[in-house]
Structure 1
Amino acid sequence: MIQCYLLDGDFKETTHDDFSKIAEVVEQNRLAISAIPLEAIIDILGQLGKRILKQSSLNQYQGISYISLWLRKDNLRKICELNYSNLDYLDHFTKINTRLEMYAQPRGIVCHWVAGNMPTLAFFSAVQAILSRNGSIIKVPADYRDLILNILDLLNGIETDIDGNIFYGADIVRSIAIVSFEGKNQLLSAGLSKAADCKLIYGGSEAIKTIAALPQKESCETIIYGPKYSFAVFDQEYIESEQFEDALKNCVTDVALFNQMACSSPHTFFFEKSKYSIEDVADKLKTYFEQLPDNLLYQNKSQWMAANTINERARYLLSSDTGIVKSQGLEWTILINSESSLEEPIFGKCLFIKEVDDVRDTLDHITRKVQAMTVCIADQNDRREFAKDATYRGVDRITTPGHIHDYDLPWDGILPLNRLVRWVILKTEN
């Protein structure tokens, strides 16, 4: 059975045996969003960002204030320019040479499989479809369903005037369906897949393999955001600079956000040998963990996360070759070892730190599974060369302290809006 929480602009729970009715409604309603000029969509989303800030009930979710900043009109415009090169392509056939015109038409219905590791992920996924003027069917984890429904309810009441024409956020909302169903139900999973003109998939290895293998339209585009790993490196000059303390403070916030469950959450930090011992660095990190605000310090831990933390702490406490600095409770943990490797995530603000002779030694650990690296190298030319080597080996994003979670596009090496449209051409006589 499918539970549908938003359909045809109606925020009411309904049940369905299959996706035929849901897909039919979204298909009909996506015509209205496809008729909204891109500038009007950007203005409506910009207004939404301001309304989100004023909605106190949303403040319980981490990342909400960032959504408001991300929805600034100038930021959305830059994102579209990066993806489309020319915003006119979204609104009408536009000349690319004397005899050829091009238009970016929406693909149709985008079906989203959203992972449960980040509360704001479903919304960011939805905005990608909105900015490409597609309809959406979004399978949302139960824990974060209310968040996206509340945001879309705010969108429902927004309108904008472009050159004397009124455009409505309600038309965007009517192009979106929010659903849930048991993931193990292969029949319903296949039904959602077959409704898709594009699939946006977020999740772990098994989920990705399962969803990608579902039957689908031959014309369906599939965009996959699979499991990723993130870490940080610091060179000696940076460690011994005035920037180091602020960088550590910001990096601790990066670790704490989303309880280290996001693919962009760093798990291992490498520090070049410097005037500070690795134990000195651990003490500095300890100070900043202790200064975290309560909403980041005291986050709920699942049973398996707590068990992993306890087991890892015990392993380090029993070893003579490792070090540990930790909170009295299970709030945070710093684990020290000398193995030059990326550690398996423990999550829940459990950070591995290591000392290396040269930050370039860490390049050997990079695979295509590394999403982001916070790279703190003082000399900017050296940092750029390091970034060139790291991204060649597989890293998608080189970031700065405090910004590893920023939802910059490209993401995972993908310009998604570019792939959420069909690039069509019109040949002219002259």
Structure 2
Amino acid sequence: MQQEFSAVQNEVKFLFPSAENVEGVANHKSFAPFDNLVCAFLNEVSRKLLVDNEAKAYPDVVTFAFFCRKANVEQMKKAYDGRLQGRLGRGVTFHIAPSNVPINFAYTLVAGLLAGNRCIVRASSKDFAQTRIVCKAFCSVAEMPEYEDLKNIFSVVMFNHSVKVMDFFSSICDIRVIWGGDNTIAEIRKSPLQPRATEITFADRYSFAVFDAKYVVSLNDDEMKKVTQAFYNDTYLYDQNACSSPRLIVWLGDNDLCSVAKEKFWNVIHENISSRYSLAPILSVDKLTAQYKCAVELDAVKIEQSQDNLITRVLLKTLPQNLNEYTCAGGFYLEYDTDNLTDIVPVVTRKFQTLSYLGGDAAELQNFVVQNGLSGIDRIVPVGKTADFNLVWDGYDLIESMSRAVSAV
């Protein structure tokens, strides 16, 4: 193995540990899900990040730190009571993180570790401060004597598009986890896996929100500020690029009530983002192109745009079957008013991931999805929680999917 890796080693940059450890990761034994050493390591990483002044400037890093806390990990473990007996990690997991969500690499790594695996994670090659901050915490904690073995359990690497490197890591893994678009998945699948290896893919998906107009109108100023901050975290924090960021907003209520609610909501949203969000020039072009496409191809749409182009709203009279073809990032929202949520049933395909709600009831929405047998919607969360990582993601239970059952009769 060392000889094969030597052929591509110069193309790979190790963010954790500081020195190459591929052979150590490949040869280390597997362990049970929620291993005590791994859980203790994650708690120390959490402590390190929560006192890091640089980390505090990044809400997604702080959220990740809270995710790794001992109390949260123990809570997640409780959800598996009685289901982990006789389970072991499958072996080496190779994770390819998306290029547009800085902190994703850390969450997919933690899921792999908690499932009992050794992990090799390819972080985005973009220069994200979040990647550097989190890996610095990994390195610092791993220098503590009790956690030194973690250097042989996982790696965080960067490498540019390279078939040779992708082939190598794919050839040694037992599970390949791909976070990326459909085209990315198709390209990576050209690199063969071992015969018994499995794959988990997180393909192109889109999300939407359901807002109760009466509820929005009833909110006072302080409540609206909390809602707008939550909405910002769901959307603008990631340039609306995350698969969980809502692209369509369905307003529930009569026309007059929806109009009042929308005016109130978008005015406060604009106040919240105008001094905080900078729209990249390329996104400005993308939004303009998407506007033209909607205007030309959809019937009776009305387009409203803030003067600074931070918010673009396309008001739909009907919901097209190919809804996802009219979405865009950077503060681009399709809107639809209705007093009956069943209007969305014909357009919800397996491409839809997260339904976020404002003023609704999660259990009722879950029942709506199940009763209508919708092929899409795997997550139902309140506004502000769409990016919160969970060990059940896109319908996959990551602990069960990345571990194996050792049966005994």
TM normalised by structure 1 equals 0.80
TM alignment of 1:61-80, pairs within 5 A: 61-80=58-77
Distance verdict in 2 for CA 1:169–1:153, change over 3 Å: farther
Distance verdict in 2 for CA 1:154–1:326, change over 3 Å: same
- TM superposition shift of 1:390: 5.9
**Across the two proteins, how many residue pairs are aligned to each other?**
394
- Whether 1:148 and 2:150 are equivalent positions in the alignment is no
Provide the residue aligned with 1:92 in structure 2: none
What CA distance in whole angstroms lies between the structure 2 residues aligned with 1:52 and 1:208? 32
Amino-acid identity (%): 19
Q: Which deviates more from structure 2 when the two are superposed, residues 316-325 or residues 104-113?
A: 316-325
Letter in 2 for 1:6: F
Letter in 2 for 1:229: Y
Please point out which of 259, 266, 283 is paired with 2:246: 266
- TM superposition shift of 1:413: 0.3
Please point out which of 114, 130, 143 is paired with 1:131: 114
> Which structure is larger by alpha-carbon Rg, 1 or 2?
1
- Whether 1:174 and 2:170 are equivalent positions in the alignment is no
**Aligned with 1:152: secondary structure?**
helix
Please point out which of 358, 364, 368 is paired with 2:350: 368
Provide the residue aligned with 1:192 in structure 2: 169
Distance verdict in 2 for CA 1:426–1:302, change over 3 Å: farther
Distance verdict in 2 for CA 1:143–1:170, change over 3 Å: farther
Post-superposition CA distance 1:319-365 (Å, at most 9, x none): 99433333332322222231223353210011121212411211221
**Aligned with 1:348: secondary structure?**
coil
What CA distance in whole angstroms lies between the structure 2 residues aligned with 1:35 and 1:408? 19
Letter in 1 for 2:24: V
**Aligned with 1:328: secondary structure?**
coil
Please point out which of 269, 275, 280 is paired with 1:301: 280
Distance verdict in 2 for CA 1:155–1:418, change over 3 Å: same
Provide the residue aligned with 2:186 in structure 1: 209
Letter in 2 for 1:234: F
What CA distance in whole angstroms lies between the structure 2 residues aligned with 1:253 and 1:35? 34
What CA distance in whole angstroms lies between the structure 2 residues aligned with 1:374 and 1:37? 29
Letter in 1 for 2:13: Y
Instruction: Tell me if the contact between 2:213 and 2:258 (Cα under 8 Å) persists in the aligned partners.
Output: no
Instruction: Tell me if the contact between 1:208 and 1:226 (Cα under 8 Å) persists in the aligned partners.
Output: yes
TM alignment of 1:3-402, pairs within 5 A: 3-6=11-14, 10-11=17-18, 23-28=22-27, 30-31=28-29, 34=31, 38-82=35-79, 84-86=80-82, 89=84, 102-144=85-127, 147-158=130-141, 168-183=146-161, 185-235=162-212, 238=215, 241-242=218-219, 245=224, 249=228, 250-274=230-254, 276=256, 278-292=258-272, 296-298=276-278, 300-301=279-280, 303=282, 305-313=283-291, 321-341=300-320, 342-343=323-324, 344-376=326-358, 378=360, 382-389=364-371, 392-402=374-384
Distance verdict in 2 for CA 1:238–1:409, change over 3 Å: farther
What CA distance in whole angstroms lies between the structure 2 residues aligned with 1:117 and 1:394? 23
What CA distance in whole angstroms lies between the structure 1 residues aligned with 2:267 and 2:115? 45
Post-superposition CA distance 1:85-111 (Å, at most 9, x none): 348x4xxxxxxxxxxxx5222222111
TM normalised by structure 2 equals 0.83
Instruction: Tell me if the contact between 1:334 and 1:352 (Cα under 8 Å) persists in the aligned partners.
Output: yes
Instruction: Tell me if the contact between 2:32 and 2:89 (Cα under 8 Å) persists in the aligned partners.
Output: no
Structure 1 spans left out of the alignment, 5+ residues: 15-21, 90-101, 161-165
- TM superposition shift of 1:155: 2.8
What CA distance in whole angstroms lies between the structure 2 residues aligned with 1:391 and 1:245? 34
RMSD: 3.3
**Aligned with 1:217: secondary structure?**
coil
Q: Which deviates more from structure 2 when the two are superposed, residues 40-49 or residues 116-125?
A: 40-49
